[in-house]
Amino acid sequence: MIYGGNTPFAVELRAVTKQYGAKSASVRALNGVSLGFPAGTWTAVMGPSGSGKSTLLHCATGLDRVSSGQVLLTGTDITQAPEAYLTTLRRRSIGFVFQHFNLVASLTAAQNVELPLKLAGSRVSKSDVFEALDQVGLGDRLHHRPRELSGGQQQRVAIARAMITRPAVLFADEPTGALDSQSARTVLALLKDLVRNGQTIIMVTHDPAAAAAADSVVFLSDGRVIDRLDQPTTHAVAERLARLEESC
Ligand SMILES: Nc1ncnc2c1ncn2[C@@H]1O[C@H](COP(=O)(O)OP(=O)(O)OP(=O)(O)O)[C@@H](O)[C@H]1O
């Protein structure tokens, strides 16, 4: 299933298969996935445990090699790209947000945010760092360390860190999974604002309320895309997921 009409895809998977292990012990984590993620849209990826969500994320970002098929990132085929090229590409074109924030505990919010630019060998401007934190509502927390921030604030620092390189695609793996419902709503509203400003987001989640904030939800089961919802509601997502989990 490829969708999106004439919209250019920020990420495209063409007939992607990913097999782990050999012969009798082999697992087909992705099984012929063809999927386009239109630029400037927010897609949630859902499915039962073991359905292939993390594998999809890893293959789409070049962290994992596909067994067959193709992966295109902003139109460039990265399927056979050399490791060094992929590392640079990930630093420049991809932002990551994780469930447990993955901030460096010994660094301040500002230092965490400037880290990706430093790693990429780029010039770091204090005003860019301030602006990135200000945009997530933390302009007054520049010098706080992660332990001095709430979970929701830490996730907002992580989003600022992911966005500082102006990535073509922001990948989020359970970004609200460790947050209380109020902080989760704040983080989802922030992601919504980014998409309104043209950002592409691909998010793995188990939470129907988080998925309902996205433009579309793609459902995986046994390594295949088996369903999709546009303009999802929490109720509709929860219902589809329950049906899917019942049939597993
Ligand atoms: N490195 C690996 N080696 C062998 N098998 C793997 C590896 N990574 C994933 N798998 C298998 O591939 C399948 C898909 O796993 P994946 O982690 O992508 O699922 P998931 O949908 O993200 O699950 P969860 O929601 O539990 O995180 C599973 O059967 C898993 O056991």
Per-residue tokens: 74: 């902003």
What's the confidence (pLDDT) of residue 241? 93
Q: Is residue 3 part of a domain?
A: no
What's the confidence (pLDDT) of residue 6? 52
Centre of ligand 1 to C-alpha 57, Å, is 11
Q: Whose CA is nearest to atom 7 of ligand 1?
A: 20
Q: Is residue 2 part of a domain?
A: no
Q: Is residue 53 part of a domain?
A: yes
Q: Whose CA is nearest to atom 5 of ligand 1?
A: 20
pLDDT tens digits, one per residue of 11-47: 999 999 999 998 788 999 999 999 999 999 999 999 9
Q: Whose CA is nearest to atom 26 of ligand 1?
A: 49
Mean predicted lDDT score pLDDT of the chain: 93
H-helix or E-strand spanning residue 173: strand 169-173
Mean pLDDT within 66-76: 95
Q: Give me the domain span that covers residue 141.
A: 9-21+28-246
pLDDT tens digits, one per residue of 22-32: 878 899 999 99
Taking the C-alpha atoms of residue 209 and residue 48, their distance in angstroms, rounded to an integer, is: 16
ipTM for the complex shown = 0.97
Q: Is residue 1 part of a domain?
A: no
pLDDT tens digits, one per residue of 1-10: 333 345 589 9
pLDDT tens digits, one per residue of 194-231: 999 999 999 999 999 999 999 999 999 999 999 999 99
Q: Is residue 191 part of a domain?
A: yes
Q: Is residue 4 part of a domain?
A: no
Instruction: Check pocket membership of 50 for ligand 1, CB cut-off 6 A.
Output: yes
What's the confidence (pLDDT) of residue 245? 85
User: Count of domains in the chain?
Assistant: 1
CATH number at residue 59: 3.40.50.300
Nearest to 205 by CA among 183, 220, 192: 220
Q: Is residue 119 part of a domain?
A: yes
Residue 120, pLDDT above cutoff 90:
no
Centre of ligand 1 to C-alpha 58, Å, is 11
Centre of ligand 1 to C-alpha 80, Å, is 22
